[in-house]
Amino acid sequence: MERILSNRPALDPQELIDGGAGGEEEAGDGLEEDGEDVQDGYSEGTGECPYPAETEVKLEYPTVPIPIPVKVTVGNNSTSVRSHNTNHSAGNLSARAPKRARKRRANFPMEKLMEQFLEQSAQAEDNFYRMEEQRLQAEDHRREAEHARELHMLQMLGQMFSSISSARPSSAAAPSKPPTRPPVISSTSPSCTRGPAAHLRRPSPQTDCFTQQSQPLGTDPKALVFDRYYSLGSTSHRGMDEDILSLVKSTVPPLTSKKHKGQDGRIGIIGGCREYTGAPYFAAISALKVGADLSHVFCTKDAATVIKSYSPELIVHPVLDSPNAVEEIEKWLPRLHGLVVGPGLGREDLLLKTAKEVIEKSKARDIPIVIDADGLWLVTQQPSVIQGYQKGILTPNFMEFTRLYEALHHEPMDSSDYQRSVLQLSVAMGNLTLVLKGEQDLITDGNKVYSCSLEGSGRRCGGQGDLLSGSMGVLAHWAHAASTAGMIRSMNPSVVAAFGACSLTRQCNSQAFQRHGRSTTTTDMIQEIGSAFKKLFES
Ligand SMILES: NC(=O)C1=CN([C@@H]2O[C@H](COP(=O)(O)OP(=O)(O)OC[C@H]3O[C@@H](n4cnc5c(N)ncnc54)[C@H](OP(=O)(O)O)[C@@H]3O)[C@@H](O)[C@H]2O)[C@@H](O)CC1
Ligand SMILES: Nc1ncnc2c1ncn2[C@@H]1O[C@H](COP(=O)(O)OP(=O)(O)OP(=O)(O)O)[C@@H](O)[C@H]1O
C-alpha cells in the first residue's frame, strides 16, 4: 500500500488551497442562493465525500479497500477528511445522494478534488499491479534462460567426457602418438644405461632410458614426440610434475657451512654492449639469486660502468671489445662452472667472433654453455660452433627459433606442429638441448619433447629470457655435476636444467604478477626468485 501511495501523483497543497478557496467562492454563491454556511457541509458531514447530484461521475473503485487519509487545508483551518473504505463510501453516497443535494452543490470543488484523488489512487494501484506482473514475467524469462544455459553446459560436459573416454583406448593402442602419456622416469630401470658421462654421447635408442618413446627420426617424427604437459596447478598432472621436479631438486647443492665461496657456482655471462646493458645484468643477477656464488659479466668497455652501477654484487670485466678479448676471458674460464652467451651481446662482427672463440675454448673445458639472444644469431650463422655439444643448451624465442630452423633445414618450419619442428632442429644440431620459449616452453634433446606450461602471466616485458638463461646457467652446472656424481641417471641433465629454469621463470612471473599486475617488470620477477625457487625446489 505504501508503494501504491508513493506512486500517486503528487498533490500540490497550493492546488488544494486554491480549490478550497474556489469552493468558498462558489459556496458563497450557493449561500446566497441556499442560505447555508459552507462549513456545515463539513461539520455535519460524516466524513464521507459529499457528491454533487447534478454531476454524473463514474468512479471505478479498486477491489481492495483503500483507506486514504487526506489532509485538506482551508484558510487557516485544518480539516481531516477520511475515506475509510471506498466501497462503503460508494454505498453511502448512493443512499444519501437525494437528501444532501444542496450541500453537495455547495461543496462541489472539494468533492471533485476527492473524486480526482480517488481516481488517481485507483490508477496508481492498477499501474502497480501491471508493473508487478511485468516484473514477474521478466523474472520467469530470466529463470528459463538460466535453466537453458545450464542444460546446454551439461550437454557439453557430457560430450567432453564421452569423447575423452572414447579417445583413451585408441591413444593407448597407438604408441606412435602418445601425447597424454606420462613420462617414464626411473632411476632403477635396467634399460637406463646413462652413466655419469653418458650425456656427452649422442643418445641412441638402445642406450636411452626412454626407449619406449625412442624411434629413428625419418619414419614418423611425430612418433618421437613425447608431449608432457607440465602444470603445477593441476592435480591431474601432479604426479608427473613431481617426477621432474624431484630430479631438479636432487641437483640442488645443499647449503652447508662446510663449503667456501665459489663452490656452488661461478657463472660467466658473455654479453653487454653500449645498447644493451640490462640483459647481461638480468642474466648475471638471476644466476646469483638462484644460488651461484659469483657472477662475472664480460662486456664492452662502455657497458661495464653502467652494469656495475646496477649492482655491486656483479664482477664486471670491460674486455669484450678489447684487442685481446679472447685471452682476457680465457684466463677466467678455468674458474667458471657455467657460461651464458648472448644476452645484450649485439651483432657486431668483432663481438660475435670473440663470442665464437670463447665458446670453442669453453667446450674444450667441458663447461656447460647456454646460448641465448644474440648468441643465437651467431649459431644461426655458424651452427657448427655448438653442434653436437651435449652440455650446450639453446634458448630461442619464436623469432630466433625460426631463423635457426631455416638456416639448418633450408625451408620454412611447419608452424602447425612446433613439437615436430623443435625435435627436428635439435636432431639437426646433434641432439643439442633446445628450449623453444613461448606460451608453453618446449624442451627437447631430440628424443622427446617436454612441455613446461606452468602458469606464468600475460605480462611479456623484455628481459624474462635473460632471467631464464641466467638461472639456466646455474642449474646446468648443478645438473651436470649431479650427473657426474651419478645422481641423475634417467634423464639428460641439460634437459633437467632447462626444465627447472623454465619452471622457475614462469613461477617468478606468476608471483611478480600477483604483486604488481600490469606494471610487472623483470626486476620484479628477479625479486621473486628466492621464494619461487623455494616453492618449486625446496619444499
Ligand atoms: N633491457 C635490456 O637490455 C634487454 C636487452 N635485450 C637484448 O636485446 C637484444 C636483441 O634481442 P631481441 O630479442 O629484441 O632481438 P630479436 O631476436 O631480433 O627480436 C626482434 C624482434 O623479433 C620479434 N620477436 C621477438 N620475440 C618474438 C616472439 N616470441 N614471437 C614473435 N616475434 C618475436 C619482434 O618483432 P616485432 O614484433 O617487432 O615485429 C622483435 O622486435 C639481445 O641482445 C637481447 O639480449 C633483451 O634481452 C630484452 C632486455
Ligand atoms: N606466451 C607466453 N605465455 C607465457 N609465458 C611466456 C610466453 N612467452 C614467453 N613466456 C615466458 O617467458 C620466458 C622468456 O620468453 P621470451 O619469449 O620472453 O624470451 P625472449 O624474447 O628471449 O626474452 P628477452 O626479452 O629476455 O630477450 C619463457 O621461458 C616463458 O617462461
pLDDT tens profile 62-81: 444 444 444 444 334 443 43
Q: Is the CB of 381 under 6 A from ligand 1?
A: no
Cα 280 to ligand 1 centroid, rounded to whole Å: 14
The verdict on residue 233 lying in a domain is no
Q: What pLDDT score does 241 carry?
A: 66
Q: Name the pLDDT band for 154 (thresholds 50, 70, 90).
A: low
Q: Which residue has the cell 634458448?
A: 395
pLDDT of 161 > 50? The answer is: yes
| CA 32 to mean position of chain CA atoms | 88
Q: What pLDDT score does 11 carry?
A: 44
| CB-CB neighbours of 522 under 10 Å | 25
19-33, 267-281, 410-424, 440-454: range with lowest mean pLDDT: 19-33
Q: Mind listing the pLDDT tens digit for each residue in 417-433?
A: 999 999 999 999 999 99
Query: Does the annotation flag 348 for ligand binding?
Result: no
Instruction: Please give the angle made by the CA atoms of 344, 345 and 351, to the nearest 5 degrees.
Output: 165
Q: Name the pLDDT band for 150 (thresholds 50, 70, 90).
A: low
CA–CA separation, 390 and 431 (whole Å): 7
Q: What pLDDT score does 36 carry?
A: 38
Cα 376 to ligand 1 centroid, rounded to whole Å: 12
Residues with CB under 6 A from ligand 2: 373, 397, 437-439, 441, 456, 460, 462-466, 468, 502, 505-506
| CB-CB neighbours of 235 under 10 Å | 9
Q: Is the CB of 441 under 6 A from ligand 1?
A: no
69-73, 267-271, 510-514: range with lowest mean pLDDT: 69-73
Q: Is the CB of 468 under 6 A from ligand 1?
A: no
CA–CA separation, 290 and 340 (whole Å): 14
The verdict on residue 408 lying in a domain is yes
Cell numbers representing residue 176 in the block: 606412435
Nearest protein Cα to ligand 1, atom 34: 399
Q: What pLDDT score does 171 carry?
A: 31
Q: What pLDDT score does 379 carry?
A: 98
CA distances from 514 to 237, 498, 507 (A): 23, 24, 11
Q: How high is the ipTM of this complex?
A: 0.95
Q: Is the CB of 392 under 6 A from ligand 1?
A: no
Looking at the CA of 303, name the nearest ligand: 1
Q: Which residue has the cell 662446510?
A: 258
Q: What is the DSSP string of 348-388?
A: -HHHHHHHHHHHHHHHHTT--EEE-THHHHHHHH-GGGTTT
Q: What pLDDT score does 353 carry?
A: 98
Cα 266 to ligand 1 centroid, rounded to whole Å: 27
Q: Residue 331 carries which DSSP code?
A: T
Q: What pLDDT score does 293 carry?
A: 98
Give Cβ neighbours of residue 123 (< 8 Å, ≥ 6 apart): none
Q: What pLDDT score does 138 carry?
A: 83
The verdict on residue 184 lying in a domain is no
pLDDT of 151 > 90? The answer is: no
The verdict on residue 139 lying in a domain is no
Query: Does the annotation flag 273 for ligand binding?
Result: no
Query: Does the annotation flag 397 for ligand binding?
Result: yes
Query: Does the annotation flag 243 for ligand binding?
Result: no
pLDDT of 524 > 90? The answer is: yes
Q: Name the pLDDT band for 307 (thresholds 50, 70, 90).
A: very high
Q: Domain of residue 339: give its range.
A: 241-251+260-538
Q: What 3-state class would DSSP assign to 325?
A: helix
Strands (E), 301-448: 315-318, 338-341, 369-371, 392-394, 433-436, 441-444
pLDDT of 223 > 50? The answer is: no
Cα 500 to ligand 2 centroid, rounded to whole Å: 15
The verdict on residue 478 lying in a domain is yes
Question: What's the pTM?
Answer: 0.65
| CA 180 to mean position of chain CA atoms | 24
Are 398 and 366 in contact by the 8 Å Cβ rule? The answer is no
State which of 379, 393, 399, 437 you would mutate to test the pocket of ligand 2, scoring each by most atoms of that ligand within 8 A of its C-beta: 437
Higher-scoring residue by pLDDT: 522, 4 = 522
Q: What 3-state class would DSSP assign to 1?
A: coil
Q: Is the CB of 275 under 6 A from ligand 1?
A: no
Q: Is the CB of 373 under 6 A from ligand 1?
A: yes
Cα 464 to ligand 2 centroid, rounded to whole Å: 6
Cell numbers representing residue 396 in the block: 630461442
Query: Does the annotation flag 282 for ligand binding?
Result: no
Beta bridge partners of 392: 369
The verdict on residue 386 lying in a domain is yes
β-strand pairing of 338-341 with 315-318: unpaired
Instruction: Calculate mean pLDDT across residues 153-168.
Output: 55
State which of 378, 399, 403, 422 you would mutate to test the pocket of ligand 1, scoring each by most atoms of that ligand within 8 A of its C-beta: 399
Cα 434 to ligand 1 centroid, rounded to whole Å: 18
Q: Name the pLDDT band for 106 (thresholds 50, 70, 90).
A: low
Cα 502 to ligand 2 centroid, rounded to whole Å: 9
Cα-only R_g, the chain: 44
Looking at the CA of 378, name the nearest ligand: 1
The verdict on residue 376 lying in a domain is yes
Query: Does the annotation flag 400 for ligand binding?
Result: yes
Query: Does the annotation flag 403 for ligand binding?
Result: yes
Give Cβ neighbours of residue 475 (< 8 Å, ≥ 6 apart): 248, 251, 290, 496, 497, 498, 500, 501, 504
Q: How many domains does the chain have?
A: 1
29-33, 242-246, 385-389: range with lowest mean pLDDT: 29-33
Cα 23 to ligand 1 centroid, rounded to whole Å: 90
Q: Mind listing the pLDDT tens digit for each residue in 330-369?
A: 999 999 999 999 999 999 999 999 999 999 999 999 999 9
pLDDT of 32 > 60? The answer is: no
State which of 269, 270, 276, 310 you would mutate to test the pocket of ligand 1, scoring each by most atoms of that ligand within 8 A of its C-beta: 276
Higher-scoring residue by pLDDT: 381, 201 = 381
CA–CA separation, 414 and 411 (whole Å): 9
CATH number of the domain bearing residue 302: 3.40.1190.20
Query: Does the annotation flag 460 for ligand binding?
Result: yes
CA–CA separation, 342 and 259 (whole Å): 31
Q: What is the DSSP string of 199-266?
A: GGSPP-TTT-TTTTT---TTT-HHHH---EEE-TT-GGGHHHHHHHHHHHHHHSPP--TT--TTTT-E
Q: Which residue has the cell 634417467?
A: 490
Q: Mind listing the pLDDT tens digit for each residue in 110-133?
A: 888 888 889 898 888 888 888 888
Q: What pLDDT score does 134 carry?
A: 84
Cα 461 to ligand 2 centroid, rounded to whole Å: 8
Q: What 3-state class would DSSP assign to 267?
A: strand
Backbone φ and ψ of 210, nearest 5°: -105, 40
How many C-alpha atoms does 289 have within 13 Å on its Cβ side?
28
Cα 455 to ligand 1 centroid, rounded to whole Å: 22
Looking at the CA of 275, name the nearest ligand: 1
68-82, 284-298, 448-462: range with lowest mean pLDDT: 68-82
Higher-scoring residue by pLDDT: 145, 226 = 145
The verdict on residue 204 lying in a domain is no
CA–CA separation, 35 and 56 (whole Å): 25
